Amino acid sequence: MGERNESGYILSDNARRRMRQRGISLDHLERLWDFGALHHRSGGQVLYFDRAARRRLEHDCGDGRDDKAFGIYAVIDGAVVVTVGHRYRNLRLH
């Protein structure tokens, strides 16, 4: 397990590996952690950008938005990021 960073989360070894494999930057994960919407699923929580989260990010960060960052998600357990990935279809939130 890694150390807690300034945003307050810990990256698991699996999350670090998946970030490298999938080309997800730490900056994108920081934005997701700061602005993303949290949805509780069985066995964990999913952090992702919904419409409201995108608006908050655009409002706080101005016009320099990065559309690639909007397509990511993170599975978290408490303050630990378990894994990350790209959304290629809508999340099933039921």
Evaluate whether 79 touches 9 at the Cβ level (below 8 Å): yes
Q: Which domain holds residue 47?
A: 10-86
Question: What's the structural domain count of the chain?
Answer: 1
State the alpha helices, DSSP H only, in the chain. 13-22, 26-35, 51-61, 67-70
Residue 91 lies in a domain: no
Q: Is residue 73 within 8 Å of 91, Cβ to Cβ?
A: yes
7 phi and psi angles, rounded to 5 deg: -80, -10
The number of angstroms, rounded, from the C-alpha of 79 to the middle of its chain's C-alpha atoms is 12
Q: What is the maximum alpha-carbon separation in the chain?
A: 36
Q: Is 3 part of a structural domain of the chain?
A: no
pLDDT per residue rounded down to tens, the chain (94 residues):
666 666 678 999 999 999 999 999 998 898 898 888 998 877 789 999 888 888 888 887 765 556 667 789 999 998 899 999 987 766 555 5
Asked whether residue 2 is domain-assigned, the answer is no
Q: Is residue 94 part of a domain?
A: no
